[in-house]
Amino acid sequence: MTDYALAVDLGGTKVEAALVAADGTVLPGSRHRRPTGATATAAELATSVTEAVEAALDSASSPDVELLGAGIGSAGPIAGRSGNVSPLNLAAWRDYPLGALVSALLPAALPVTLRMDGICIALAEVWVGAARGERNVMGMIVSTGVGGGLILDGRVIAGPSGNAGHIGHVAVAGFDDRCACGARGCLEAVASGPRTVAWAREHGFAGATGEELATAAAGGDATARAAIERSATAVGRAIASASALVDLDVVAIGGGFSHVAPDYVDLVQRAVTGHSDFGFVTSTRVVASGLSGEGPLVGAAALVHQAHLVD
């Protein structure tokens, strides 16, 4: 008998679910994806979550699988610690009871824990990823949105609302882009995949997706490359500011847009290193996620398997 957690990752373009073992490995065949998206209705989002979870749970029918509970990582902000969510990029869900939706799909009495996706990334990297052995870590997602989560002195820091570490809505010096949250200069408004592509298009780029931006930059398109460098610079400045505040050792970056250029993480590190004369800031190491595309799911499972680290 092997212990598994149901892991659910809710993002701006998709929801994924899988079964993850106590060593951080995803059960083969258990990983399932369904679409979300900014124009999806509340019912469509609920259907996507339900279908992904039910497909993953079908893998738990084996007598060798012992299901311990569910961990959910959600794009932020989340609506407190009740299991409700209000993801900025999913307008149809405001204070939506995602935890209750998933709980209703599980066998009775199994626990469900929900945290921001950035917290899950941080947990995954400390557990089995690129930040193993570290105690002061930020996990970051650079994708449709920009999220973050903090582990300080070996403990998850969620804050009273559950949104501590939401670095996507930290204002970045030198930028004035309008954010969907209503503020200006937020990291997400500058550095996310869609906003970076939008900036490139405003400056003459003809493509429409992050994949096209990556291809153009690799082929020598100066505008595409400038857009990527702009994103990475903003991420680096935000990390440096966060490190000045909480003294980070390592920042692990995942998410689809972090792969837009082979040297994206190096560009972020350069911005951190050149930020100021404070060594405790500029010595912060920026690393790529050690878990590739499985990081968010592994991190959601860590809410169950590594529950002793979760406040």
For residue range 211-266, list pLDDT tens digits in order.
999 999 999 999 999 999 999 999 999 999 999 999 999 999 998 999 999 999 99
**What percentage of the chain exceeds 90 in pLDDT?**
85
How many domains in the chain? 2
Q: Is residue 303 part of a domain?
A: no
Q: Give the tens place of pLDDT for each residue, 8-63.
A: 999 989 999 999 999 999 999 999 999 999 999 999 999 999 999 999 999 877 77
pLDDT score of 292: 76
Task: Fill in the amino acid letter for 150.
Answer: L
- Say yes or no: 158 and 30 in one domain: no
- Say yes or no: 101 and 187 in one domain: no
CB 109 within 8 A of CB 103: no
Q: Is residue 207 part of a domain?
A: yes
- Say yes or no: 105 and 141 in one domain: no
- Say yes or no: 250 and 135 in one domain: yes
Per-residue pLDDT for 139 more than 90?
yes
Across the range 280-301, mean pLDDT stands at 92
Q: Give the tens place of pLDDT for each residue, 226-239.
A: 999 999 999 999 99
- Could you tell me the residue range of the domain that residue 213 belongs to? 130-289
| More reliable by pLDDT, 131 or 64 | 131
CA distance from start to end of the chain: 29
Q: Is residue 32 part of a domain?
A: yes
Q: Is residue 305 part of a domain?
A: no
Which pairing describes strands 112-116 and 137-142: parallel, antiparallel, or unpaired?
unpaired
Task: Give phi and psi for 288, each to the nearest 5.
Answer: -75, 150
Q: How confident is the model at residue 1 (pLDDT cuts 50, 70, 90)?
A: low
Residues 284 and 180: their CA atoms lie apart, in Å, by 29
Q: DSSP states of 31-46 as a string?
A: -EEEE--TT--HHHHH
Give the predicted TM-score (pTM) of the model: 0.89
- Say yes or no: 56 and 164 in one domain: no
Which residue bears the tokens 């869900």?
93
- Say yes or no: 108 and 229 in one domain: no
Residues 130 and 100: their CA atoms lie apart, in Å, by 32
Q: Is residue 304 part of a domain?
A: no
Q: How confident is the model at residue 82 (pLDDT cuts 50, 70, 90)?
A: confident
- Say yes or no: 243 and 95 in one domain: no
